[in-house]
C-alpha cells in the first residue's frame, strides 16, 4: 500500500498557507484566492477531517496598508506591520468561513508559549476545545510581541510545532513551488520533483538549499526542518504547490502531488519514544498493585485511586516516574496535576476530585496517551 494512503486515513491535519499564496503580488490580501482556500478547507472539514490553519500574511497585509514596498528590517517596524495587518487577515478569514456557517478563532503564539510546559498545555487544551466545538483555529506567530530570541523564524516551523501540539496526523505546507526538487528548478530545467522520502534523509538538506521570497521568512530549507519537527510526533508532511487546482482535496485523496516526507515511526510510537527518552522526571508516584496491573496489562490511564503516595515537586505537564510498592519503575508519563494537587487526590476516586480541589482538570492523573511503560 502506498504511503500516500496516509492522507486518506488522516483525521486531523495542520494546513499552513504561505504569504506568497495569500497576497496579490505584495499588494495586500488576495480575497478571491483566500475565499477559494476556505472553500477547499471547508470541504476537507465536511469529509470528517479536523483542520488547524496556520496562516501567514499579517506582515504582508500590514505592509500594504501602510504603503511599504519592502519588508521591514527593524523589529519594531515588523511588529507594527503585523499589528496592522493582523486586523485585516483575521477579519477576512472570519468573513470567508462565515459564508459556510463556520466560526473561526484567532490563536497567536510565540516560542515561549510552547517551551513553557504549563502554557504549552493551556495552548493544547484551547486548540483541542476549539476543534471539539467545530471552530476552525487560525494560528499565527504573535509578531507584535516577538523578539529575535523567541520568534519561530517562519510559519513552517510554527506549523510543525502546532502539529506536535495537537497531535495531528499530518502537516500540509502549501507553497509557491510544486514541492521539493532535487535541484533548484529556477536554475536547472532538468530538476526533478522529489516524490517521497523519509524526513530524516540527509540528502534533503542539499536539495533544499536556496533562499526565501521577498515576503516570506522561510525557504525550502525551513520546510524540510519543519517536516523533521513534525516527524518527532509521528506526523507526515506534504510540501505541495498551493496554486494547483483543488490541491487540498487531491492531496487528501492520495494523488501523487508535491513531496511527501515521512516519519520513521507511527504517531503514537514516536510520541512514546519522546516521552521515554527525552524528558527528565520531576517526581515520583507510588502505585498500588491494582494500578500497576491495569497500566502494564490493560493499557489504561492512571487514575488517582491507584496512587499510594507522591514525592517531589512538579508542575502539571511535567514528567513523573511511576513505581510499584517495592520501588521498581513501571512507567513514566506527563502528569495532569501539580505535586500538591496530586497528593491531595491520591487514593481517591475520580468523582471526588472536585470535592477535594474545588475543580477538576482531568479525571486521570496521567492519560494513557501521555504514559509509556518502561
| In a shared domain, residues 265 and 302 | no
pLDDT at 86 over 50: yes
| In a shared domain, residues 213 and 289 | no
- Return d(Cα 146, Cα 115) in angstroms, integer: 14
The distance of Cα 261 from the centroid of its chain, to the nearest Å, equals 16
Residue 143, annotated ligand binder?
Answer: yes
State the pLDDT confidence band at 189, using cuts at 50, 70 and 90: confident
| In a shared domain, residues 56 and 205 | yes
pLDDT for the residue 147: 58
| In a shared domain, residues 177 and 75 | yes
Residue 16, annotated ligand binder?
Answer: yes
- Predicted TM-score (pTM) of the model is 0.74
Q: Which residues contact 27 (CB under 8 A, 6 or more apart)?
A: 64
State the pLDDT confidence band at 214, using cuts at 50, 70 and 90: very low
- Return d(Cα 303, Cα 283) in angstroms, integer: 17
- Return d(Cα 152, Cα 139) in angstroms, integer: 13
Give me 187's grid cell: 536554475
| In a shared domain, residues 15 and 144 | yes
pLDDT for the residue 370: 85
| In a shared domain, residues 139 and 82 | yes
Pick the more confident residue, 38 or 280: 38
The distance of Cα 22 from the centroid of its chain, to the nearest Å, equals 21
Among 248, 270, 292, residue at a domain's last position: 270
User: Tens of pLDDT along 6-31?
Assistant: 777 889 999 999 888 888 766 688 89
| In a shared domain, residues 289 and 248 | no
Residue 142, annotated ligand binder?
Answer: no
User: Tens of pLDDT along 71-84?
Assistant: 877 888 888 888 89
Residue 56, annotated ligand binder?
Answer: yes
| In a shared domain, residues 75 and 43 | yes
- Return d(Cα 109, Cα 59) in angstroms, integer: 15
pLDDT at 213 over 60: no
Average the pLDDT over 126-137 and give the result.
Answer: 94
pLDDT for the residue 119: 79
Closest CA to 167 of 11, 40, 6, 56: 11
Q: Which residues contact 253 (CB under 8 A, 6 or more apart)?
A: 7, 8
pLDDT for the residue 25: 67
Among 205, 235, 270, residue at a domain's last position: 270
Among 207, 240, 270, residue at a domain's last position: 270
Average the pLDDT over 271-290 and give the result.
Answer: 78
Total structural domains within the chain: 2
pLDDT for the residue 149: 44
- Return d(Cα 345, Cα 265) in angstroms, integer: 36
Instruction: Look up the domain containing 355 and give its range.
Output: 279-373
| In a shared domain, residues 155 and 238 | yes
| CATH number for position 26 | 3.40.1160.10
pLDDT at 150 over 50: no
Residue 201, annotated ligand binder?
Answer: no
| In a shared domain, residues 27 and 141 | yes
| CATH number for position 326 | 2.30.130.10
Q: Which residues contact 108 (CB under 8 A, 6 or more apart)?
A: 86, 139, 140, 141, 142, 144
| In a shared domain, residues 191 and 321 | no
pLDDT at 217 over 50: no
Residue 175, annotated ligand binder?
Answer: yes
| In a shared domain, residues 249 and 307 | no
User: Tens of pLDDT along 313-322?
Assistant: 998 888 899 9
Mean confidence (pLDDT) of the chain: 85
Amino acid at each position: 500500500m502506498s504511503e500516500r494512503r496516509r492522507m486518506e486515513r488522516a483525521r486531523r491535519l495542520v494546513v499552513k498557507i504561505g504569504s506568497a499564496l495569500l497576497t496579490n503580488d505584495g499588494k495586500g490580501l488576495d480575497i478571491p484566492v483566500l475565499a477559494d482556500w476556505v472553500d477547499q478547507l471547508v470541504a476537507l472539514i465536511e469529509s470528517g477531517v479536523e483542520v488547524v490553519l496556520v496562516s501567514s500574511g499579517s506582515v504582508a497585509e500590514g505592509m500594504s496598508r501602510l504603503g511599504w514596498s519592502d519588508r521591514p528590517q527593524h523589529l519594531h517596524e515588523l511588529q507594527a506591520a503585523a499589528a496592522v495587518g493582523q486586523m485585516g487577515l483575521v477579519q477576512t478569514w472570519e468573513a470567508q468561513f462565515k459564508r459556510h456557517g463556520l466560526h473561526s478563532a484567532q490563536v497567536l503564539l510565540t516560542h515561549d508559549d510552547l517551551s513553557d510546559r504549563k502554557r504549552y498545555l493551556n495552548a493544547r487544551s484551547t486548540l483541542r476545545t476549539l476543534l471539539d466545538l467545530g471552530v476552525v483555529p487560525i494560528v499565527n506567530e504573535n509578531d507584535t510581541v516577538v523578539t529575535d530570541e523567541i520568534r519561530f523564524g517562519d510559519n513552517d516551523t510554527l506549523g510543525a510545532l502546532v502539529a506536535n501540539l495537537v497531535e495531528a496526523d499530518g502537516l500540509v505546507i502549501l507553497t509557491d513551488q510544486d514541492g521539493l526538487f532535487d535541484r533548484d528548478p529556477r536554475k536547472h530545467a532538468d530538476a526533478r520533483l522529489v516524490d517521497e522520502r523519509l524526513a530524516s534523509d540527509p540528502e534533503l538538506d542539499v536539495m533544499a538549499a536556496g533562499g526565501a521570497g521577498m515576503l516570506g521568512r522561510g525557504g525550502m530549507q525551513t520546510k524540510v526542518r519543519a517536516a523533521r519537527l513534525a516527524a518527532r510526533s509521528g506526523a507526515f508532511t506534504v510540501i505541495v504547490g498551493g496554486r494547483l487546482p483543488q490541491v487540498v482535496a487531491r492531496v487528501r485523496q492520495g494523488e501523487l502531488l508535491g513531496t511527501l516526507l515521512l516519519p520513521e515511526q507511527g504517531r503514537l510510537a514516536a510520541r512514546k519514544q519522546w516521552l521515554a527518552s527525552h524528558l527528565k522526571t520531576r517526581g515520583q508516584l507510588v502505585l498500588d498493585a491494582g494500578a500497576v496491573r491495569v497500566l502494564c496489562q490493560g493499557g489504561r490511564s492512571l487514575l488517582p485511586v491507584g496512587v499510594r503516595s507522591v514525592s517531589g515537586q512538579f508542575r502539571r505537564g511535567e514528567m513523573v516516574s511511576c513505581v510499584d510498592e517495592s520501588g521498581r519503575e513501571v512507567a513514566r508519563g506527563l502528569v495532569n496535576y501539580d505535586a500538591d494537587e496530586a497528593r491531595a487526590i491520591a487514593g481517591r476516586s475520580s468523582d471526588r476530585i472536585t470535592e477535594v480541589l474545588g475543580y477538576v482538570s482531568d479525571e486521570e492523573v496521567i492519560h494513557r496517551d501521555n504514559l509509556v511503560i518502561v
